[in-house]
């Protein structure tokens, strides 16, 4: 087998612990999975005696050879030599790469586990054929992993490899990967000039009820575009003016399509959110039970996950709904309300980010900073000393841009000025009114507004979001300026009216409201 011509797409790592393998025969599981499309196999035995490991290696090698699939041995160069298989996979605490290469010779496939850029550089320089990058997400299969790096951590390593001229070194990622998250992880981990060559899994194949079908499914998923990927960045947002030209079209798309805005939100804002959705022409549903999402996601709308009151049941419901919407590629707006306030909320943010693709993340400065800093290695650098100090203008824009780039989505940070970015284009919007801060739930209903706009205009989520913000903020300005509005109480009904009137005026070709766009 040519070590330079290996297909890493679906990489099976074995595990014969009963919790994963059950009472099945490992050889049968491996053969079924290779029949289904597994492209490379690693025998990983942490507790067996050497003789048993060699015997198992030989049995597996007889199988993999039939299908022309390479077999590697975890850690044990001696076992690989005894089996006569194609190579080894070594961890950071195992034998040195150069020694393994010397013992196994130039034709052996040698892979190395890495979790940092530094480790990746050493392994590439040392002549690794591929890197196993991880741990992507916490997994019950291996609990002693060192570093949970997320898709973003994988991407940083891929980028560093490309920058250092190691494009030719192949890569897979590992840790908590399954059929549900595979496409998102591959998508979000892709660096501008390097992407993963495959994914390595244990339980997704070894614990699968039907390993053949599971392998076939994983391979199909790896080789196809995820449903939620439309335009990665805005095709039309080169300038603010080019977006302003699109405003009427987008506002009217909402009215024309009456998109479903499925809100999983807190009790405090349900009524207000539903009224805002109706005023802008969308069709609201307040449904907090995740089971319903599997039906609702098929109606062409968008989901709002508003973490206003998070509890363990609520979190499970969010994850179900996220899975449902991701599976059909309908947009999800995530509002990480109070993200940094408590340990529970920080942990919920982490769980949500690792379980699904969030088309839009919308929050205030504190929330966006928390979301950005959720991987410990990546807290946003501040110039001031006080961690609660506001960021400077340039830092705000940079934070929003970097988070959007990392998540490959659109990020909105609200405040006196709103900032938003798709990682390529970053805008600031200065519309709005102080009354918005004096009424409960205005942030939440902005999430609802955005959801309706991205559902109606899904092919350019950045433009849809800008227009949603303009519609919302300008309506607030117009309401606040009305003579019948004297404070936050009279503001709310006036705001609903102005949201509605803007839509109606746009339909009548009266675009005067847009003149106040800042
Ligand atoms: N190595 P599953 S994580 C074998 O991070 C292994 O290096 C890891 O199991 C690493 O696919 C892991 O069931 C287990 O999550 C992966
Ligand atoms: Mg090891």
Catalytic residue among 85, 173, 297, 444: 444
Give the confidence band of 150 by pLDDT, cuts at 50, 70, 90.
confident
User: Which ligand 1 atom minimizes the distance to the CA of 113?
Assistant: 7
Give the confidence band of 54 by pLDDT, cuts at 50, 70, 90.
very high
Q: Which of 323, 349, 347, 317 is nearest to 335 (CA)?
A: 349
Residue 234 domain flag: no
CA distances from 320 to 146, 285, 293, 501 (A): 28, 17, 7, 36
Counting the structural domains of the chain, the total is: 2
Q: What does the pLDDT average to over 69-93?
A: 97
Ligand 1 pocket mutation, candidates 21, 174, 206, criterion most atoms within 8 A of CB = 174
CA 145–ligand 1 middle distance (angstroms): 8
The pLDDT of residue 389 is above 70:
no
Per-residue burial over 144-171, b = 16 or more CB atoms within 10 Å of its CB, e = otherwise: ebebbbbbbbbbbbbbbbbeeebeebbb
As a whole number, the mean pLDDT across the chain is 92
Question: Does residue 16 sit in the same domain as residue 82?
Answer: yes
Residue 3 domain flag: no
Question: Does residue 63 sit in the same domain as residue 176?
Answer: yes
User: Which ligand 1 atom minimizes the distance to the CA of 176?
Assistant: 15
Residue 152 has a pLDDT of 81
The pLDDT of residue 457 is above 90:
yes
Is 297 one of the annotated active-site residues of the chain? no
pLDDT digits (tens, 9 = 90+) for 6-43: 999 999 999 999 999 999 999 999 999 999 999 999 99
The pLDDT of residue 249 is above 50:
yes
CA 36–ligand 2 middle distance (angstroms): 27
In this structure, are residues 352 and 319 in contact, taking their beta carbons and an 8 Å threshold? yes
User: How many residues would you count in the chain?
Assistant: 518
Q: What does the pLDDT average to over 253-269?
A: 94
Paired tokens of 381: 């650098």
Residue 211 has a pLDDT of 98
Q: What does the pLDDT average to over 420-431?
A: 94
Ligand 1 pocket mutation, candidates 111, 115, 175, criterion most atoms within 8 A of CB = 175
Residue 356 has a pLDDT of 85
Per DSSP, 194 falls in state B
Residue 229 domain flag: no
Residue 232 has a pLDDT of 56
The pLDDT of residue 339 is above 60:
yes
Question: Does residue 274 sit in the same domain as residue 210?
Answer: no
CA–CA distance, 465 with 140 (Å, rounded to integer): 38
Q: What does the pLDDT average to over 408-434?
A: 94
CA–CA distance, 503 with 475 (Å, rounded to integer): 10
DSSP state string for 154-181: HHHHHHHHHHTT-TTSEEEEESS--TTT
pLDDT digits (tens, 9 = 90+) for 114-142: 999 999 999 999 999 999 999 998 788 98
Question: The domain spanning residue 70 has which CATH number?
Answer: 3.20.20.70
End residue of a domain, out of 167, 195, 222: 222
Question: Does residue 65 sit in the same domain as residue 173?
Answer: yes
In this structure, are residues 261 and 306 in contact, taking their beta carbons and an 8 Å threshold? no
End residue of a domain, out of 171, 194, 222: 222
Q: Which of 473, 430, 433 is nearest to 450 (CA)?
A: 473
Choose between 404 and 390: higher pLDDT.
404
User: Which ligand 1 atom minimizes the distance to the CA of 142?
Assistant: 14
CA 119–ligand 2 middle distance (angstroms): 14
Residue 308 has a pLDDT of 84
In this structure, are residues 487 and 437 in contact, taking their beta carbons and an 8 Å threshold? no
CA–CA distance, 333 with 310 (Å, rounded to integer): 16
Determine which residue's CA is closest to atom 16 belonging to ligand 1. Answer: 175
CA–CA distance, 392 with 373 (Å, rounded to integer): 17
Residue 311 domain flag: yes
Question: The domain spanning residue 294 has which CATH number?
Answer: 3.40.1190.20
Residue 469 has a pLDDT of 97
In this structure, are residues 431 and 516 in contact, taking their beta carbons and an 8 Å threshold? yes
Residue 385 has a pLDDT of 37
Paired tokens of 487: 């404070």
Question: Does residue 21 sit in the same domain as residue 110?
Answer: yes
pLDDT digits (tens, 9 = 90+) for 168-189: 999 999 999 999 889 989 998 9
Picking from 195-199, 240-244, 409-413, which range would have the lowest pLDDT averaged per residue? 240-244
Given the cut 0.90, state whether the ipTM is greater than it.
yes
Cis ω for the linkage preceding 135 (within 30 of 0): yes
User: Which ligand 1 atom minimizes the distance to the CA of 134?
Assistant: 5
Residue 6 has a pLDDT of 98
CA 76–ligand 2 middle distance (angstroms): 8
Please give all residues whose beta carbon lies within 6 A of any atom in ligand 1, as ranges: 13, 44, 113, 134-135, 139, 141-142, 145, 174-177, 201-204
Reduced to 3 states (helix: H, G, I; strand: E, B; else coil), residue 72 is strand
Cβ count near 4 (within 10 Å)? 10
Full residue range of the structural domain in which residue 162 is found: 10-222
CA 102–ligand 1 middle distance (angstroms): 27
E strand or H helix that includes residue 41: strand 40-43
Q: How many CA atoms lie within 13 A of 224 on its CB side?
A: 10
The pLDDT of residue 376 is above 70:
no
Give how far the C-alpha of residue 126 lies from the chain's centroid of Cα atoms, to the nearest Å.
Answer: 32
Residue 386 has a pLDDT of 40
Cβ count near 248 (within 10 Å)? 17
CA–CA distance, 360 with 344 (Å, rounded to integer): 22
Can you list the positions of beta strands (E) in 184-314? Answer: 198-201, 260-264, 283-286, 302-306
In this structure, are residues 59 and 67 in contact, taking their beta carbons and an 8 Å threshold? no
In this structure, are residues 302 and 260 in contact, taking their beta carbons and an 8 Å threshold? yes
Residue 235 domain flag: no
CA–CA distance, 419 with 496 (Å, rounded to integer): 24
Provide the β-strand partners of residue 427. Answer: 420
Query: Considering every ligand atom, which ligand is closest to the CA of 19?
Result: 1
């Amino acid at each position: 087998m040519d070590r330079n011509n290996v297909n890493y797409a679906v990489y099976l790592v074995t595990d014969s612990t009963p919790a994963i393998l059950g009472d099945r025969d490992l050889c049968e599981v491996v053969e079924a999975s290779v029949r289904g499309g597994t492209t490379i196999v690693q025998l990983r035995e942490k507790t067996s005696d050497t003789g048993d490991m060699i015997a198992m290696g030989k049995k597996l090698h007889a199988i993999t050879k039939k299908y022309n699939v390479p077999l590697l041995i975890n850690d044990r160069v001696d076992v690989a030599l005894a089996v006569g298989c194609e190579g080894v996979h070594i961890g950071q605490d195992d034998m040195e790469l150069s020694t393994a290469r010397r013992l196994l010779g130039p034709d052996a496939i040698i892979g190395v586990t890495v979790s940092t850029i530094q480790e990746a550089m050493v392994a590439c320089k040392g002549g690794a054929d591929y890197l196993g990058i991880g741990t992507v997400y916490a997994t019950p299969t291996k609990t002693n992993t060192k570093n949970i790096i997320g898709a973003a951590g994988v991407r940083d390593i891929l980028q560093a490899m490309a920058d250092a001229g190691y494009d030719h070194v192949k890569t897979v990622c590992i840790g908590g990967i399954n059929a549900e998250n595979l496409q998102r992880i591959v998508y979000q981990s892709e660096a501008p000039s390097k992407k993963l060559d495959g994914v390595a899994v244990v339980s997704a194949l070894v614990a699968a009820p039907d390993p053949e079908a599971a392998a076939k499914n994983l391979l199909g998923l790896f080789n196809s575009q995820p449903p939620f990927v439309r335009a990665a960045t805005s095709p039309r947002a080169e300038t603010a003016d080019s977006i302003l030209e699109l405003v009427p079209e987008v506002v009217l798309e909402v009215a024309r399509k009456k998109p479903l805005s499925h809100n999983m939100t807190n009790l405090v804002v349900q009524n207000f959110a539903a009224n805002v959705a109706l005023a802008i022409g969308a069709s609201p549903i307040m449904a907090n039970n995740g089971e319903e999402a599997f039906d609702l996601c098929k109606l062409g709308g968008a989901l709002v996950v508003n973490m206003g009151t998070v509890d363990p049941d609520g979190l499970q419901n969010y994850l179900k709904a996220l899975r449902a919407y991701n599976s059909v590629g309908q947009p999800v707006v995530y509002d990480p309300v109070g993200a940094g306030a408590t340990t529970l909320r920080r942990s919920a943010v982490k769980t949500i980010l690792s379980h699904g693709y969030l088309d839009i993340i919308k929050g205030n400065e504190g929330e966006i900073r928390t979301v950005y800093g959720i991987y410990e290695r990546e807290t946003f650098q501040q110039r001031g000393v006080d961690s609660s100090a506001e960021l400077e203008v340039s830092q705000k824009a940079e934070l929003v841009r970097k988070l959007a780039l990392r998540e490959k989505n659109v990020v909105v940070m609200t405040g006196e000025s709103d900032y938003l970015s798709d990682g390529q284009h970053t805008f600031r919007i200065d519309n709005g009114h102080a009354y918005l801060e004096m009424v409960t739930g205005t942030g939440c209903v902005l999430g609802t507004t955005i959801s309706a706009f991205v559902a109606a205009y899904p092919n350019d989520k950045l433009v849809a979001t800008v227009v949603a913000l303009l519609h919302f903020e300008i309506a607030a300005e117009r309401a606040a300026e009305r003579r019948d509005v004297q404070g936050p109480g009279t503001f709310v009904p006036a705001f609903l009216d102005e949201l509605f009137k803007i839509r109606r005026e746009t339909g009548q070709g009266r675009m005067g409201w847009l003149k106040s766009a800042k």
